[in-house]
Every structure is written in structure tokens, then in C-alpha cells.
Amino acid sequence: MYAKKVMEYFKSPKHVGTIKNADGVGEVGNMKCGDILKLYIKVKDNVIKEIKFETFGCVAAIASSEALCRVAKGKTVDEAEKLSNEDVIKELGGDVPAVKVHCSFLAIDALKKAIKDYKK
């Protein structure tokens, strides 16, 4: 059902965890299934230097969290703010089952919240 990249990111995510003294934290939940995603960012010189996630969710949500971290890391805050769910799907090889696309939105929503938190 899932593409190779989705399974790879689900099985071996490199960005799972928390960041102590994070500059921004974003937490979002999916009302339909109750899954939760918490994203932490560390910013230096306006660049996202570190990014970690804790996701209590399905395969697509975890793989999307990992994909989002890979896409956002090293970007300036302004560049990261312009990322969309399409960038996450692209990082996943462009192949997320239609019924699971809503799960992938958790990651991008959490990033936007973390950036908002950082800017406060």
C-alpha cells in the first residue's frame, strides 16, 4: 500500500525526539483519529539548525514528519514558512495513498505553529 520512501522514513526516522530549550514548538492533533504531532525547532542566524518530532500516529503521519524535517532543516525561517504539503509529499516520492493525504498535513501544520511560536 505504501511507497518505498514512506516505509523507509517510517522504519528509520532520523529526527525523532525532542529539543531542550527549543526556540519554537508546534503541536497539532488530528480530530478524526486522535493522532498527535509535536515538532521542535532550534534556530540560529534565522536558519533552522535542528528539528525534531514526536508523533503518535499512523505510518503516513510518522513518515511525513520525517520528510518535513528533512525538507525544513537548513532552510531560513522565511523559506520554511513557504513550504507546503506538496513539498512533504514530494520528499516522500510523490506517492501517498489518497486516503492518507490528510495525515501528511499534520507535519506542515506543526511546522507553521512552531515558526509562529518562534516568532513570538
Distance between CA atoms of residues 119 and 31, nearest Å: 26
7 is an interface residue for ligand FES by CB under 6 A:
no
Q: Does 111 bind ligand FES (CB under 6 A)?
A: no
Q: Do strands 36-44 and 24-29 pair parallel, antiparallel, or not at all (unpaired)?
A: antiparallel
Active site residue 69: no
Please identify, using beta-carbon distances, which residue of 7 and 33 lies nearer to ligand FES.
Answer: 33
Q: Decide if residue 58 touches ligand FES (CB under 6 A).
A: yes
Active-site residue identified among 68, 103, 106, 107 = 103
**Cα(59)–Cα(64) distance, rounded to whole angstroms?**
8
Q: Is 35 in the site for ligand FES (CB under 6 A)?
A: yes
Tell me the CB-side half-sphere exposure of residue 70, using CA atoms within 13 A: 17
Residue among 27, 51, 53 nearest 116 (CA): 27
Residues 6+ apart with CB under 8 A from 79: none
Total binding residues toward ligand FES, as defined by CB under 6 A: 9
Out of 3, 25, 30, 93, the only residue in the binding site for ligand FES (CB under 6 A) is 30
Selected range binding ligand FES among 11-19, 38-46, 56-64, 109-117, rule: CB under 6 A = 56-64
Measure CA 38 to chain center: 9
Catalytic residue numbers?
A: 33, 103
Which stretches of the chain bind ligand FES, using CB under 6 A? Answer: 30, 33, 35, 57-58, 60-61, 103, 106
